[in-house]
Amino acid sequence: MSRKLLTATLLVICVAILYTKESFHSEIARALNWFPQSVPSTAQIEVGFSPEAGAEELVIKAIASAKKSILVGAYSFTSKPIVQGLIDAKKRGVEVRAVLDKSNTSNKSGTAAANLLANADIPTRIDSEHPIHHNKIIVIDDAHIETGSFNYSAAAAHKNAENAVVIWNNPELAKMYADNWAIHWEHSAAYRSTY
């Protein structure tokens, strides 16, 4: 790390500690994520598009590949097949956790999907820290990442112009995504089913 970058990082950390109410760990993680990062690319990459051009199927394929863990970060979260895929993964013994945008507590379809996760004993949290939690990511087995514009919704699958990308077998990149996901998990509130 260059001296200039190190100085800027330390300054950001000090300011964050002095002027916020969040935990020390959260502020350090946030400060370090302000800078673009790069990782080597040796992974296989798959892509799907929508409407009706493989995006939702690719997301479901990625979920079905999980053997030990799934971390979900979602904005619009209403896709029944994706919700079912996560529940099926939980039934297989995969540890599944989700951070959802607060909009999922104010619309019928989002609330229904969040309830299904919570009722399946999948720890689910609502991120109200930001104007919107606009992430669309899934980290699988600390090695694979699904991302792209594709919201986990029926509209994204059948109406919108969207893309989904899965980067297979890149643990270094998966760790970066998981670390960022953990920041949002930490400041999000636990979701409890409404029925």
Residues with catalytic roles = 134, 136, 141
d(CA 115, CA 193): 5
Residue 23: Cβ within 10 Å count: 12
In this structure, which amino acid lies at residue 45? I
At position 67, the amino acid (one-letter code) is: K
